[in-house]
Structure 1
Amino acid sequence: MSKKLVVGLSGNLTRPSKTNAFVSHIACELASRAGAASSVFDIEDLGPSFPPARQLADLDPAARAIVELVLGADVLVVGSPTFKGSYTGLFKHFFDLLDPSSLRGKPIILAATGGGERHSLIVEHQLRPLFGFFEAQTMPTAIYASDKDFANGVLVSEAVLARARQAVAEACRVAGAPNRVGLAA
């Protein structure tokens, strides 16, 4: 049996990125606890062929390879910074290119970042309906982190870290992966 794969996708367009750090933290913890491999990408990694693409065939080979990793993942960790109360436009564009059945049943951890608490419902009001359309299996625990939850780009909030651990445990159960508690910080 091949090793399970956890793929993280951050809807951020700039680097360094708190959203990428957040998604990476969750994906790495999940991979560690499940004995899986992990890869994390930003929307920016899709390169110049991505913004004008109208279908997957319009993407260059490097961008298509990222899409194939996302589609082939055993578990996804998706996150977006909050932009005007929702996910970024290019984050949505990525999912617009996918076949509606391509994520059916796929376990997904939802995460988002934002400047303050007033955007915390992005995960429930924006991300969960998006992945509901795809009939993905979103974890019950979604995670939001605001600027105050980070120090020097590193997630430091114990409350947010605890929610991340809870979502990771849920994903391990759903994916049928061992939950090697104690291996990840």
Structure 2
Amino acid sequence: MSASATAATAMIGCACGRTRMEASGAPILVSECLCDSCRAAAARLAALPGAVDRLTAYGATPCAEYRKDRIRIVSGAEHLAEFRLSADAGTRRVVATCCNTPVFLELKGAHWLSVYLHLWPPHTRPTAQLRTMVGDLDDASRLPDDLPNLKSQSLWFYAKLLAAWIAMGLRNPRIEVKEKLDA
């Protein structure tokens, strides 16, 4: 499924199936992030009991960026816990603790969620359009050239996010997660 395709509704969920979400419509964009923060968080989350390393072979975190108003938690909200790399980190990663599956990433003040692509069944998984934050790598020469490999986020990336926020009426819905996770 391409990122630009208009998907009706996708049911996605954690590895054990207890935490399920509904993603409506097409994502804003689909990316693979190579920032230091995503790679460090992935390593710490992969060390949790029963967890799986979700990075690509070259260390990227694949995500579909979705408007918050297009993601609905259908079941398992009681299993969600937030993980932060440090107490004052502006980014939180939300994990389904029933099986220690990372579910989404949320930047402080953001109107979108970066939903991890491993939640989709492989045959319905959105396709990445670009890699971003390649500048954080010591050696980017090992990256495949099948997608644009951007040193940081591009103007196009921010324009897509701004257009989505305008379409949302400049709202920023809250996603409540009550538990905290130490990893």
TM range (shorter): under 0.3
Q: Which has the higher helix share?
A: 1
